[in-house]
Amino acid sequence: MSCYFSKNKEQKMPNTPNKKTYKKNSQLNRLKLNGFTLLEMIITMTIAFILATMAVPAFNSFVESSRLTSNTNLVIGALNLARSEAVRLGESVRVELFVDGFQLVIASGANDGDVLKQFTPSNKDITVVFDGSVDPVTYSSTGFRDFAGNPQPGDIHVCDSDGNGTDITISTGGSVTRTESATC
């Protein structure tokens, strides 16, 4: 039987690292095992908090702007629908305000006063205001505005609670255009 142990201290066991290799490996292992220090974690969290506090107001502004745009598109869609329904039905159709929003109503013939569709703004902070020359907006069976003696272009104002708004201009022919940054 042979043994690796000998009385000679200079003889080494096979596959045993020397002192230099051991020190080098222990330094590498120490680097691999280290995580974040408390200071690094606090600095990272502080930076994340600062970035979040800057992003939240901008995000809220984006949401409000999106709500305003959405409700403006709702009004424009209602006006275009009223125009196409007037042509399709062969009767005058008007867009008028009611308590919770605005509605399409048949304005002539045997069905006079019948509500075709009601629209409610998606947010109670949004207001829709018709100015005097377009209250209500009536389209004739030809698809043009029925003026009832008032052939003037008119505006509809869509405003949020912060005073931001959009003007919707209805031409004398009945076409609809949008103007951003209206004052409310």
pLDDT band at 54 (very low <50, low <70, confident <90, very high): confident
Question: What is the structure's pLDDT at 19?
Answer: 58
Q: Is the pLDDT of residue 47 over 90?
A: yes
Q: Is the pLDDT of residue 16 over 80?
A: no
Q: Lowest mean pLDDT: which of 21-35, 69-83, 97-111, 112-126?
A: 21-35
Enumerate domains of the chain plus CATH numbers: 38-183 (3.55.40.10)
* Parallel/antiparallel/unpaired status of strands 137-139 and 93-98: antiparallel
pLDDT per residue as tens digits for the range 163-175: 888 888 888 788 8
* Mean pLDDT of the 134-139 span: 76
Q: What average pLDDT does the structure give for the chain?
A: 77
User: Helical H runs in the chain?
Assistant: 19-33, 38-89
Is 132 in a helix, a strand, or coil?
A: helix
DSSP 120: -
Cα–Cα distance, 1 to 55 (Å, whole number): 76
